[in-house]
A = this chain, B = another copy of it.
Amino acid sequence: MKKLVLKDVAKHVGVSTALVSYVLNGQAEEKQVNKETAKRILKAVEELNYRPNQIAKSLKMQKTFTIGLVVADINYRFSTGITRAIESEAKKNKYTVIYGSSNESKEKFVELINVFVNRRVDGLILVAAENSQDQIKLLQKSGTPFVLIDRIFPEIKTNYIALDNYQAAYASTEYLIKKGHKRIALINYETSLFHLHERDRGYFEALKDNNITFKKEWHQKVSNENVVKDVQSGIVNILGLKQPCDAVFFATDTLTLHGLKYLIDKKINVPNDISVLSFDGSDVFDLFYCPITHSKQPLEEMGKLAVNTVIELVNQGKINKQISLEADIIVGKSCKE
């Protein structure tokens, strides 16, 4: 069962391939194709159920209508949310998404980008892996259109769509303070990722601006290799202080998840024993006994903006787009009044 090609259609109608191509690409008017001929061509295309070979088209047009997407880990809520948003917006623009997950490994990240570039995607949307600055710089040099989402490198000027993590963390911390909390802990990853540092910074500044003297024991760090253990000991630490913390701010939803599991396990009540605030929500939290107050990233918007930025970039060459979005605080019942 050989695939039908343009030439077959042309032969069937008794015209040249050029005419068929013109008609199929809406250039019938412009190339003044006879209306009758056009009709016959369309009829044949319909009858034969001809489908243009996009590969051949891509080769000739030097354009694939494909966007490569690299996420950090498909298991993150962020990843599925953003993927969904991107896929849907891309489809609206007749683009297809090919994607992969770096699983937080720089090597996989680089490899994925190479695969995508070799497949001649028109542009890339990237959630950068830790320490992948060099790769980003290379990409810039090569002129491949790309936009970073979520994570940025402040020392490299790129197009990006990200959250204003400083603002979000500041607002969250201040929310806790306004609710009367005096000793607020922060549990965050030990990492070089800028966006997580910004969350630290927002937390620190909010404390300072509200005249709360930060104690270093409040800041508990979690290593990527030992998430579960470190979250647990983090909680143990902040509750074991002479003056135990009265609230904990988890810097990512994953951290919150592990934290809540432990709190359930140890029958530590939220919010009576400790208030909980999460950076980013998750439907995972739905089954916790009380709704979790959290800041919420506008995933839909981020995805949409990312797609539109890449497309703009593809169509208009260099542009400059650095967009920082604000997070909303979704009030649950996990913070004591």
Residues of A within 8 A of B (CB): 1, 51-56, 58-59, 64, 66, 74-75, 80, 83-84, 87, 91, 96-101, 114-115, 117-120, 142-143, 257, 260-261, 264, 283-289
Query: Is the beta-carbon distance between B287 and A261 smaller than 8 angstroms?
Result: yes
Taking a contact as CB atoms under 8 Å apart, the answer to whether B260 and A143 are in contact is no
Contact A118 B84, CB 8 Å, known A283-B284, A286-B284: no
Q: Are B142 and A1 in contact (CB under 8 A)?
A: yes
| A289 CB contacts on chain B under 8 angstroms | 264, 289
A98 with B101: CB separation less than 8 A: no
Partner of A1, one of B99, B101, B143, B261: B143
The minimal Cβ–Cβ distance linking A302 to chain B, given in whole angstroms, is: 16
Please report whether the interface of chain A is mostly helix, strand, loop or mixed according to DSSP: helix
Least CB distance, A256 to chain B, in whole angstroms: 10
Complex-state Cα separation, A192 to B140, whole angstroms? 51
Q: Tell whether, in the assembled complex, residue B257 and residue A287 are in contact, meaning their CB atoms are under 8 Å apart.
A: yes
Check B53 against A55 for contact (C-beta < 8 Å). Answer: no
**Cβ-defined contact, B98 with A98, below 8 A:** yes
Is B286 within 8 A of A117, CB to CB?
A: no
Q: Judging by beta carbons under 8 Å apart, are B75 and A101 in contact?
A: no
In the complex formed, the residue of B with least CB distance to A263 is B287
Q: List 16 A-B contacts (CB under 8 A).
A: A53-B59, A55-B55, A55-B58, A55-B119, A80-B80, A84-B101, A87-B99, A87-B101, A96-B98, A96-B100, A97-B99, A97-B100, A261-B286, A284-B284, A284-B286, A287-B288
Q: With A80-B80, A261-B286 known to touch, is A52 a contact of B118 (CB < 8 Å)? A: yes
A87 in complex: contacting residue of B58, B100, B117, CB < 8 Å: B100
Known A74-B80, A75-B80, A98-B97; contact A56-B53, beta-carbon cutoff 8 A: no
Additional A-B contact list (11), CB under 8 Å, known A1-B142, A55-B59, A264-B289: A1-B143, A53-B118, A54-B119, A74-B80, A87-B100, A96-B115, A257-B283, A260-B287, A284-B287, A286-B287, A289-B289
Nearest-neighbour CB distance to chain B for A277, whole angstroms, equals 16
Alpha-carbon distance between A115 and B289 when the two chains are bound, in angstroms: 44
Residues of B within 8 A of A51 (CB): 114, 117-118
Q: Chain B's nearest CB lies how many Å from the CB of A29? A: 25
Q: Which of A58, A257, A261 has the most CB of B within 10 A?
A: A58
Question: Which residue of the partner chain, among B56, B87, B286, contacts A257 with CB atoms under 8 Å?
Answer: B286
Which residue from B74, B283, B286 sits with its C-beta under 8 Å from A84? B74
Please, how many angstroms separate the alpha-carbon atoms of A270 and B284 in the complex? 18
Distance between Cα atoms of A84 and B53 in the complex (Å): 29
Cα separation A75 to B53 with both chains bound (whole Å): 32
Considering the chains assembled together, what is the distance between the CA atoms of A96 and B260 in angstroms?
37
The 5 closest A-B pairs by CB, nearest first: A287-B288, A1-B143, A98-B98, A54-B119, A287-B287
What is the CB-to-nearest-CB distance from A77 to chain B, in angstroms, rounded to a whole number? 10
Q: How far is the CA of A200 from the CA of B119 in the complex (A)?
A: 45
**Which residues on B sit within 8 Å (CB–CB) of A120?**
53-55
A92 to chain B, nearest CB (A): 12
Contacts of A142 in B (CB 8 A): 1
User: What residues of B have a CB within 8 angstroms of the CB of A55 in the complex?
Assistant: 55, 58-59, 64, 119-120
